[in-house]
Protein backbone atom coordinates (compact mmCIF):
# COMPACT_ATOMS: atom_id res chain seq x y z
CA UNK A 1 0.00 0.00 0.00
CA UNK A 2 1.31 3.41 -0.96
CA UNK A 3 2.34 5.48 2.04
CA UNK A 4 1.05 9.00 2.50
CA UNK A 5 1.06 11.87 4.96
CA UNK A 6 -2.28 13.44 5.86
CA UNK A 7 -2.29 17.21 6.26
CA UNK A 8 -4.97 19.22 8.03
CA UNK A 9 -5.33 22.74 6.63
CA UNK A 10 -7.06 25.73 8.19
CA UNK A 11 -8.03 28.15 5.42
CA UNK A 12 -9.44 31.68 5.33
CA UNK A 13 -10.93 33.31 2.27
CA UNK A 14 -12.84 36.29 1.02
CA UNK A 15 -15.64 34.60 -0.88
CA UNK A 16 -16.45 37.45 -3.26
CA UNK A 17 -14.20 36.50 -6.21
CA UNK A 18 -15.00 32.77 -6.12
CA UNK A 19 -17.81 30.40 -7.11
CA UNK A 20 -18.09 28.95 -3.61
CA UNK A 21 -15.92 26.35 -1.90
CA UNK A 22 -16.66 23.33 -4.06
CA UNK A 23 -14.82 22.61 -7.31
CA UNK A 24 -16.67 24.04 -10.30
CA UNK A 25 -16.60 23.45 -14.07
CA UNK A 26 -15.23 26.99 -14.44
CA UNK A 27 -12.33 26.11 -12.12
CA UNK A 28 -13.11 29.01 -9.79
CA UNK A 29 -14.07 27.19 -6.61
CA UNK A 30 -11.81 27.77 -3.61
CA UNK A 31 -11.19 24.03 -3.69
CA UNK A 32 -10.00 24.33 -7.32
CA UNK A 33 -7.43 26.98 -6.44
CA UNK A 34 -6.08 24.90 -3.55
CA UNK A 35 -5.82 21.78 -5.71
CA UNK A 36 -3.99 23.80 -8.36
CA UNK A 37 -1.54 25.06 -5.73
CA UNK A 38 -0.81 21.49 -4.63
CA UNK A 39 -0.36 20.44 -8.27
CA UNK A 40 2.25 23.14 -8.75
CA UNK A 41 4.14 21.81 -5.73
CA UNK A 42 3.79 18.09 -6.39
CA UNK A 43 3.34 17.85 -10.18
CA UNK A 44 0.47 15.44 -9.54
CA UNK A 45 -3.22 15.88 -8.66
CA UNK A 46 -4.46 15.53 -5.09
CA UNK A 47 -7.83 14.81 -3.51
CA UNK A 48 -8.74 17.67 -1.20
CA UNK A 49 -11.68 17.28 1.20
CA UNK A 50 -13.31 20.25 2.92
CA UNK A 51 -15.38 20.35 6.10
CA UNK A 52 -18.35 21.56 4.08
CA UNK A 53 -19.49 23.71 1.20
CA UNK A 54 -19.86 27.45 1.28
CA UNK A 55 -21.82 29.22 -1.46
CA UNK A 56 -20.49 31.84 -3.83
CA UNK A 57 -19.89 35.07 -1.90
CA UNK A 58 -19.70 33.38 1.52
CA UNK A 59 -16.51 33.98 3.49
CA UNK A 60 -14.48 31.82 5.87
CA UNK A 61 -12.35 32.65 8.88
CA UNK A 62 -11.39 29.00 9.39
CA UNK A 63 -12.50 26.46 6.81
CA UNK A 64 -10.87 23.07 7.39
CA UNK A 65 -9.65 20.63 4.75
CA UNK A 66 -7.47 17.53 4.60
CA UNK A 67 -5.25 16.17 1.87
CA UNK A 68 -2.92 13.20 1.46
CA UNK A 69 0.59 13.96 0.18
CA UNK A 70 3.84 12.01 -0.22
CA UNK A 71 5.45 11.56 3.22
CA UNK A 72 8.31 13.84 4.22
CA UNK A 73 8.05 15.95 1.08
CA UNK A 74 8.16 19.32 2.89
CA UNK A 75 8.19 20.69 6.41
CA UNK A 76 4.84 22.03 7.63
CA UNK A 77 5.94 25.67 7.49
CA UNK A 78 7.11 25.10 3.91
CA UNK A 79 3.73 23.71 2.90
CA UNK A 80 2.04 26.80 4.33
CA UNK A 81 4.38 29.31 2.70
CA UNK A 82 4.52 27.58 -0.69
CA UNK A 83 0.77 27.03 -0.95
CA UNK A 84 0.11 30.68 -0.17
CA UNK A 85 2.64 31.68 -2.83
CA UNK A 86 0.54 29.81 -5.42
CA UNK A 87 -2.89 30.98 -4.22
CA UNK A 88 -4.90 34.12 -5.04
CA UNK A 89 -4.42 36.72 -2.33
CA UNK A 90 -8.06 36.28 -1.25
CA UNK A 91 -7.28 32.70 -0.12
CA UNK A 92 -4.76 31.95 2.62
CA UNK A 93 -3.71 28.77 4.40
CA UNK A 94 -3.46 29.92 7.99
CA UNK A 95 -2.22 26.69 9.52
CA UNK A 96 -0.97 23.35 8.28
CA UNK A 97 -0.58 20.37 10.59
CA UNK A 98 -0.33 16.60 10.57
CA UNK A 99 -3.52 14.59 11.05
CA UNK A 100 -4.26 10.96 11.87
CA UNK A 101 -5.01 8.68 8.91
CA UNK A 102 -8.55 8.36 10.30
CA UNK A 103 -9.17 12.11 10.34
CA UNK A 104 -11.68 13.41 7.79
CA UNK A 105 -12.36 17.14 7.49
CA UNK A 106 -16.08 16.57 6.91
CA UNK A 107 -17.00 13.34 8.68
CA UNK A 108 -14.89 13.91 11.80
CA UNK A 109 -16.57 17.27 12.47
CA UNK A 110 -19.06 17.42 15.36
CA UNK A 111 -20.31 20.95 14.74
CA UNK A 112 -19.79 24.32 13.10
CA UNK A 113 -20.05 27.97 14.03
CA UNK A 114 -21.15 30.65 11.57
CA UNK A 115 -21.38 34.41 11.97
CA UNK A 116 -23.77 36.62 10.01
CA UNK A 117 -23.20 40.39 9.82
CA UNK A 118 -26.00 42.89 9.16
CA UNK A 119 -25.44 46.61 8.58
CA UNK A 120 -28.70 48.03 9.92
CA UNK A 121 -28.82 51.67 8.81
CA UNK A 122 -30.26 53.68 5.90
CA UNK A 123 -26.71 54.14 4.52
CA UNK A 124 -24.50 51.13 3.80
CA UNK A 125 -20.95 52.03 4.74
CA UNK A 126 -18.80 51.58 1.61
CA UNK A 127 -16.22 49.49 3.50
CA UNK A 128 -19.00 47.05 4.41
CA UNK A 129 -20.11 46.38 0.83
CA UNK A 130 -19.65 42.69 0.08
CA UNK A 131 -19.00 42.00 3.76
CA UNK A 132 -22.42 42.53 5.34
CA UNK A 133 -26.11 42.53 4.43
CA UNK A 134 -27.54 46.02 4.21
CA UNK A 135 -30.93 46.18 5.96
CA UNK A 136 -32.55 49.61 5.89
CA UNK A 137 -35.60 48.85 8.05
CA UNK A 138 -35.04 49.05 11.82
CA UNK A 139 -34.66 45.61 13.43
CA UNK A 140 -36.10 45.17 16.90
CA UNK A 141 -33.60 43.47 19.21
CA UNK A 142 -36.29 42.15 21.54
CA UNK A 143 -38.03 40.49 18.60
CA UNK A 144 -34.72 39.01 17.44
CA UNK A 145 -34.10 37.58 20.90
CA UNK A 146 -37.61 36.13 20.98
CA UNK A 147 -36.98 34.47 17.59
CA UNK A 148 -33.66 33.20 18.92
CA UNK A 149 -35.38 31.45 21.82
CA UNK A 150 -37.70 29.65 19.39
CA UNK A 151 -34.85 28.31 17.24
CA UNK A 152 -32.36 27.10 19.84
CA UNK A 153 -32.59 23.37 20.55
CA UNK A 154 -33.24 20.24 18.51
CA UNK A 155 -35.77 20.74 15.72
CA UNK A 156 -36.62 19.47 12.28
CA UNK A 157 -35.40 22.40 10.15
CA UNK A 158 -36.82 21.17 6.84
CA UNK A 159 -38.62 24.50 6.39
CA UNK A 160 -35.26 26.28 6.56
CA UNK A 161 -33.38 24.24 3.96
CA UNK A 162 -33.09 24.89 0.24
CA UNK A 163 -33.95 21.85 -1.86
CA UNK A 164 -30.93 20.23 -3.52
CA UNK A 165 -32.92 17.25 -4.73
CA UNK A 166 -31.34 15.10 -2.03
CA UNK A 167 -33.09 13.10 0.65
CA UNK A 168 -31.36 13.83 3.95
CA UNK A 169 -32.06 13.94 7.65
CA UNK A 170 -33.25 17.46 8.44
CA UNK A 171 -33.11 17.40 12.24
CA UNK A 172 -30.33 19.52 13.71
CA UNK A 173 -29.45 20.90 17.14
CA UNK A 174 -28.67 24.60 17.48
CA UNK A 175 -26.64 25.01 20.66
CA UNK A 176 -26.71 28.78 20.78
CA UNK A 177 -27.43 31.94 18.80
CA UNK A 178 -25.52 34.94 20.11
CA UNK A 179 -26.83 38.36 19.13
CA UNK A 180 -24.64 41.44 19.45
CA UNK A 181 -25.20 45.01 18.35
CA UNK A 182 -22.62 47.76 18.09
CA UNK A 183 -24.15 50.87 16.59
CA UNK A 184 -25.11 50.02 13.00
CA UNK A 185 -23.49 46.56 13.00
CA UNK A 186 -25.56 43.60 14.10
CA UNK A 187 -23.90 40.17 14.36
CA UNK A 188 -25.56 36.81 14.90
CA UNK A 189 -23.41 33.80 15.77
CA UNK A 190 -24.89 30.32 15.21
CA UNK A 191 -23.37 27.21 16.83
CA UNK A 192 -24.89 23.83 15.91
CA UNK A 193 -24.04 20.19 15.37
CA UNK A 194 -24.58 20.80 11.67
CA UNK A 195 -26.43 22.93 9.14
CA UNK A 196 -28.60 22.12 6.13
CA UNK A 197 -28.07 23.68 2.72
CA UNK A 198 -28.51 27.47 3.11
CA UNK A 199 -30.03 26.94 6.55
CA UNK A 200 -28.23 29.82 8.26
CA UNK A 201 -29.20 32.29 5.54
CA UNK A 202 -32.82 31.15 5.62
CA UNK A 203 -32.89 31.45 9.42
CA UNK A 204 -31.41 34.95 9.18
CA UNK A 205 -33.96 35.99 6.56
CA UNK A 206 -36.78 34.68 8.72
CA UNK A 207 -35.50 36.34 11.90
CA UNK A 208 -35.14 39.63 10.03
CA UNK A 209 -38.76 39.40 8.85
CA UNK A 210 -39.92 38.96 12.45
CA UNK A 211 -37.62 41.72 13.76
CA UNK A 212 -38.87 44.16 11.11
CA UNK A 213 -42.51 43.44 11.92
CA UNK A 214 -43.31 41.78 8.60
CA UNK A 215 -44.01 38.38 10.18
CA UNK A 216 -45.26 37.37 13.65
CA UNK A 217 -43.42 35.01 15.97
CA UNK A 218 -46.22 32.51 15.47
CA UNK A 219 -45.02 32.14 11.86
CA UNK A 220 -41.68 30.77 13.09
CA UNK A 221 -43.53 28.42 15.42
CA UNK A 222 -45.57 27.12 12.49
CA UNK A 223 -42.47 26.51 10.35
CA UNK A 224 -40.97 24.44 13.17
CA UNK A 225 -44.23 22.67 14.04
CA UNK A 226 -44.93 21.64 10.41
CA UNK A 227 -41.42 21.08 8.96
CA UNK A 228 -41.25 21.15 5.20
CA UNK A 229 -44.95 21.85 4.59
CA UNK A 230 -44.14 25.52 4.11
CA UNK A 231 -40.70 26.95 3.38
CA UNK A 232 -39.19 30.08 4.87
CA UNK A 233 -39.75 32.47 2.00
CA UNK A 234 -36.61 34.59 2.15
CA UNK A 235 -32.90 33.76 2.08
CA UNK A 236 -30.46 36.39 3.33
CA UNK A 237 -27.70 37.23 0.82
CA UNK A 238 -24.37 35.36 1.01
CA UNK A 239 -22.04 38.30 1.61
CA UNK A 240 -22.92 38.60 5.29
CA UNK A 241 -22.10 34.96 6.10
CA UNK A 242 -18.78 33.72 7.51
CA UNK A 243 -17.73 30.23 8.51
CA UNK A 244 -16.08 30.94 11.84
CA UNK A 245 -15.10 27.54 13.18
CA UNK A 246 -15.36 23.80 12.58
CA UNK A 247 -15.56 21.76 15.77
CA UNK A 248 -13.90 18.35 16.13
Name which residue leads in pLDDT, 233 or 41: 41
- E runs forming strands in 59-159: 59-69, 91-98, 111-120, 133-135, 153-156
Specify the pairing of strand 185-192 against strand 171-182: antiparallel
* Closest C-alpha to 208, from 132, 120, 131: 120
Specify the pairing of strand 59-69 against strand 48-50: antiparallel
Q: Say which CATH topology domain 111-247 has.
A: Alpha-Beta Plaits (3.30.70)
Specify the pairing of strand 185-192 against strand 111-120: antiparallel
- E runs forming strands in 75-230: 91-98, 111-120, 133-135, 153-156, 171-182, 185-192
Residue 220 predicted with pLDDT over 50: yes
Question: CA dihedral in degrees (204, 153, 213, 208; nearest 10)?
Answer: -10
Banded model confidence at residue 163, pLDDT cuts 50, 70, 90: confident
- To the query of whether residue 55 is one of the catalytic residues in this protein, the response is yes
Banded model confidence at residue 164, pLDDT cuts 50, 70, 90: low
Say if 5-98 and 111-247 have the same CATH topology. Answer: yes
Residue 172 backbone dihedrals phi, psi, to 5 degrees: -135, 160
Distance CA 43, CA 21 (A): 23
Name which residue leads in pLDDT, 57 or 165: 57
pLDDT on residue 233: 85
Query: Which of 2-16, 111-125, 222-236 is modeled with the greatest confidence?
Result: 111-125
pTM: 0.93
Domains of the chain, residue spans: 5-98, 111-247
Q: Which of 32, 55, 68, 142 is catalytic?
A: 55
pLDDT digits (tens, 9 = 90+) for 32-84: 999 999 999 999 999 999 999 999 999 999 999 999 999 999 999 999 999 99
* Closest C-alpha to 236, from 119, 155, 140, 61: 119
pLDDT on residue 3: 83
Residue 230 predicted with pLDDT over 90: no
Question: Domain 5-98 carries which CATH code?
Answer: 3.30.70.580
pLDDT on residue 66: 98
> How much is the average pLDDT of 181-202?
96
> How much is the average pLDDT of 185-212?
97
Residue 1 predicted with pLDDT over 60: no
In 237-246, which positions are buried (b, 16+ CB within 10 angstroms) versus exposed (e)?
bbbbbbbbbb
Amino acid sequence: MERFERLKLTIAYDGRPFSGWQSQPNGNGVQDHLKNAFFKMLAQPVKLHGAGRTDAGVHAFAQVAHVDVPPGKYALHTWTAALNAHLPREIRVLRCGHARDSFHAQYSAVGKVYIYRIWNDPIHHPLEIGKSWHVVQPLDLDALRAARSRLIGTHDFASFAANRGLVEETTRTIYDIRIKRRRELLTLEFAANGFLYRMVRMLIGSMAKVASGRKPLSWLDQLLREPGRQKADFTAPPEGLYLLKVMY
